[in-house]
Structure 1
Amino acid sequence: MRRPLAAVMAAVAALAVQAAPALAQDSVYDRAVAARLAGDPARAISLLQPWLAAHPGDADALVQYGYALLALGEYDRAEQAFADTLSLAPDYADAREGMALAAARRSNGTAARRSFILAEGALSDLDRGQRDWHELGLAASLTAGERSTLDLRGNWYERFGIRDSEFGALLTHRAGQDLWLRVGGSFAPDADFRPEVGASAGLDYRFAHHSVASIDAGWQQFPAQTIWTLRPGFTQYLGGGQYSVTLQASAAAASRRDVLVGASVRGDYFAGDRTRFFAGAASGPETDLGIVRQTTSLFFGGEVALGGDVSLLGSAGREWSGIGADRSEARIGLKLLL
C-alpha cells in the first residue's frame, strides 16, 4: 500500500505546485480589484506591481493595473498598461474602453490636450417680442511646448440689431505636477456693448488625485462702465474620472452698482474618447451686455465624435433675467483635432 499512497501524494503535490500561481493570482487579483473598487487605487497598484513583474502576460491583472493608474491620474502609464493588454489580447473590450477613458481624461483639463480648431454658432430667442440674438465664433487651441496651451478666439455678436466683434487670447501653463496657471486678454474694436478691453487671470490646483480647486478673476472695460468678476470653484472627479461635479461661486461688481453674488453646479459624464455630456444650473450675476444683472439658468449639452478627428458639439439653455427679457439659447459647433 505504501507505493500507491506515495504515488498519490506525489501527484497531489505536483498538482499543488502547478496550481499555486493560479491561486496566488486569484488572491492578489481579488484583493486588488476590491481595493480599486473601494476607492484605494494606490493599494491596488501596490498589490499588482509585484505580480505583474513575475507574470507580465497576465492580461486581466494588466487591465486592473491600468484602471488603478487611471484613477490616480497617471494617464501615460495607464495607456501603456492598456496597450500592453491589447498586444496580448486584441479583442479585450475593457482594455479598449480604458484607452478611450484615458484619452477623455486628457481632454477634461487635468492633462495635456491636443490642438484643435472650433467653429461655433449660437441663436437666442428672446421673450417680449425682442429681436433674436446671433453669434458666430472661431477658436483655436494650440499646444505651446510640453506644458503650455494657447487659446485664440474671434467672435461676432449681434444684439438688438447692433453688431460687435471681439478677439481674445488665453495662455495656460502647467507650472507643476498639480498646478495650472492662466492669463488672458481681449479687445473689441469700436465696441458698442462688448468690452473694449479685458484681462483675466486664474489657476487650477489638483489635490488627492481626483479633486481640483480653481479661481478666476477678471477685469473688463465696457463702453459704459468697468466690471470686475471673481469666480472660485471646486471640481470632484468620480468613478475613476468618468464623472465630475463642479461647484462654482461668482461675484461681480461694477463702477455704478453694488456687488452681486451667485453660484452654479454642473455635472459631466465622460463616456469615451471625445464623447461627453453635461448639465447644470446657475443663479448669479451676468455681465454679457456690460451691465451687472441677476439671472437664473438651466443648461445641458455635450460632444460626440463623428469619426476621425471631427467632433460635433451642441448645447441648449434657458435664462430667466431680473432685468430685460428672458431667453432660450441653442449652440452648435464642429471641432477638428490637429
Structure 2
Amino acid sequence: MTARGGFALAALLGVVLLAPPAWSRTADEFYREGVAARQEGRFAAAIDLLEEALRLQPDNADIHLQLGYARLAKGDLAAAEESFSRTLEIAPGYADARLGLAHVAFRRGDSGSARRLVAETLRVQPENAEARALSRRIDAAETEPGLDHWRFDAASERSELSGGRRHWTDSAVNLSYRIDRATTAAARLRVAERRGLTDVQIEARLDRRVAEGLSIYGAIAVTPDTDFLARTAFSAGGSWRALSERAGWGPLNLLLDVRYEIYPGARIWTAFPGVEYRLAQGLFGVSARWVHAEDDGSAVADGYIGRLDIAPEERLGGFVGYADAPEISQGVLTDTKTLFGGLTWRVDESLTLRFNLAREERVAFDRNTVGIGFTTRF
C-alpha cells in the first residue's frame, strides 16, 4: 500500500470511529432533528426520525405530538389521529394535540367536530393564533360557494305492461340537508300505484363520510297501510375508495348495500356488493354489482347489474346498462331481465334534469318504463 493510500484509509477509519453510531444517539437528538425536518417540509424524514425517538421514549407526549403533525402533513389522517389521541392520553391538557385532532376532523370534512375541538382549545388558550386561523377556515368552508346545504329531488315513472294489464306508476320526492361536509340527512316520500292500488312509503336516511374515501349510510322506510310495498325496510351500506385516481385513471371504489324488507307475508334480505371505476380522466364510469336475495321461505335468487356512464361530470351525460337480477314484487322474488338507459342535463350549477327508459322482461309479462326527474340545490 502506498503512503497516500495508507493516509486515506486512516482518515476513513478516523471518521468512522469519531462518528457516533446510530444506536448511541439519544431520543432528544432524534426529536430535535425530526422537528427540524418537519419545519423544513421533509415530512417523510421527520416521521422516520420521530419514530426513532418514540422507540426510545414511547411515553413522551411531545414526540407523539410532533409525529402527529408530520403525519398530518403527509395526509395520513388515521395515523395522525392516533398520534394526537395518544398525546392526550399521556397529557390530557395538551391543547396543541386537541388542535391537531381539529385539523384531522376538518380535513375529513367533519366541520362540527373540528369546530368543537377548536372551541375547547381556545377556552384554554384564547390567544392561540393557529386555533383562530382554523376557526376562520371552518367558517369560510361552511359559507363558501358550492356548499349547498339543501338538495331536492323529484322523479316519476310510468310503466306499460303487456297483455292488456293496467299501467304502473312510481313517483318520489327527496329532501336532503347537508349538516356539514361529512354528514347528510334526508327524508323521502314515495307514491306507487299497482293495479289500481296505491302505497305511500316514507323513508329517513343518514349518510356519513367517516374517513378519506370511506362513506357509510343507514336508512329506514315504512309503509303505513301497505298493499304491495314492504311494510318496513332497513337499508345500510357504503363505499370505500380502494385505489385513488392516477394519471387520469380511477378512482376504484368498492361498494356494498344490504336491505332487509318485511312484507305482510314474507321477509326478504338482499345484498348488492359491487365495484365502480372511472377511466379516461372521468369521461367514462363502469360499475358492476352482484345481487343476492333470500326470503324466509328458503327461496334464493342471484343476478347481476352492469352499467356504463358516459361523461358523468359533464353538462350533458348519459348511461346505459343491463340487469339480469331478481326483483321483489309483492313480497315475492321475481326473475327479471332489464335493458335501461338515460340522459342527464346539467342546466346550471343548481339544476339537473334527467330522462330514462327501460325494457324489462318477466315470465308473466313485459314492462316498458319511461321516467323523468330533476335535482335542484340551494
Taking structure 1 as the reference length, the TM-score comes to 0.64
2:224 to 189, 192, 204: 189
Q: What's 2:198 paired with?
A: 163
CA distance in 1, matches of 2:272, 2:168: 26
- The amino acid that maps onto 1:326 is D
Contact 1:247-1:265 at 8 Å conserved across structures = yes
CA distance in 2, matches of 1:184, 1:169: 6
1:242 aligns with 2:261: no
Q: What's 1:328 paired with?
A: 368
Distance verdict in 2 for CA 1:308–1:266, change over 3 Å? closer
1:154 to 167, 186, 189: 189
Contact 1:245-1:266 at 8 Å conserved across structures = yes
CA distance in 2, matches of 1:119, 1:184: 19
Contact 2:152-2:176 at 8 Å conserved across structures = yes
Offset at residue 119 of structure 1 (A)? 1.7
Contact 1:310-1:337 at 8 Å conserved across structures = yes
Give the number of the structure whose residues are more often strand, by fraction: 1
SS of 1:240 mapped into structure 2: coil
Larger Rg: 2
Q: What's 1:176 paired with?
A: 211
Q: What's 1:295 paired with?
A: 336
1:253 aligns with 2:294: yes
1:224 aligns with 2:224: no
Contact 2:282-2:312 at 8 Å conserved across structures = no
Superposed, 1:53-72 pairs within 5 Å as: none
Superposed, 1:1-338 pairs within 5 Å as: 115-209=150-244, 210-270=251-311, 272-273=313-314, 275-307=316-348, 309-322=350-363, 324-338=364-378
Offset at residue 306 of structure 1 (A)? 2.7
CA distance in 1, matches of 2:280, 2:293: 34
Contact 1:187-1:196 at 8 Å conserved across structures = yes
Offset at residue 288 of structure 1 (A)? 4.0
Contact 1:205-1:212 at 8 Å conserved across structures = yes
Deviations 1:110-159 (A, max 9, x none): x9886421121110000011000012211123212120122321011110
* Sequence identity (%): 26
Query: How large is the RMSD of aligned CA atoms in angstroms?
Result: 1.9
Deviations 1:225-284 (A, max 9, x none): 111101100001111222110010001111224210001110112254554311100001
Distance verdict in 2 for CA 1:150–1:276, change over 3 Å? farther
- The amino acid that maps onto 1:158 is E
- The amino acid that maps onto 1:291 is V
SS of 1:306 mapped into structure 2: strand
Q: What's 1:50 paired with?
A: none
- The amino acid that maps onto 2:242 is F
- The amino acid that maps onto 1:329 is T
CA distance in 2, matches of 1:275, 1:176: 31
Contact 2:276-2:287 at 8 Å conserved across structures = yes
Distance verdict in 2 for CA 1:261–1:314, change over 3 Å? same
SS of 1:194 mapped into structure 2: coil
Contact 1:135-1:157 at 8 Å conserved across structures = yes
- The amino acid that maps onto 1:330 is V
CA distance in 2, matches of 1:127, 1:165: 25
- The amino acid that maps onto 1:156 is V
Distance verdict in 2 for CA 1:282–1:271, change over 3 Å? closer
CA distance in 2, matches of 1:113, 1:258: 44
Deviates more, 1:258-267 or 1:111-120: 111-120
Q: Which runs of 5+ in 2 are unaligned?
A: 1-145, 245-250
CA distance in 2, matches of 1:127, 1:226: 29
Q: What's 2:42 paired with?
A: none
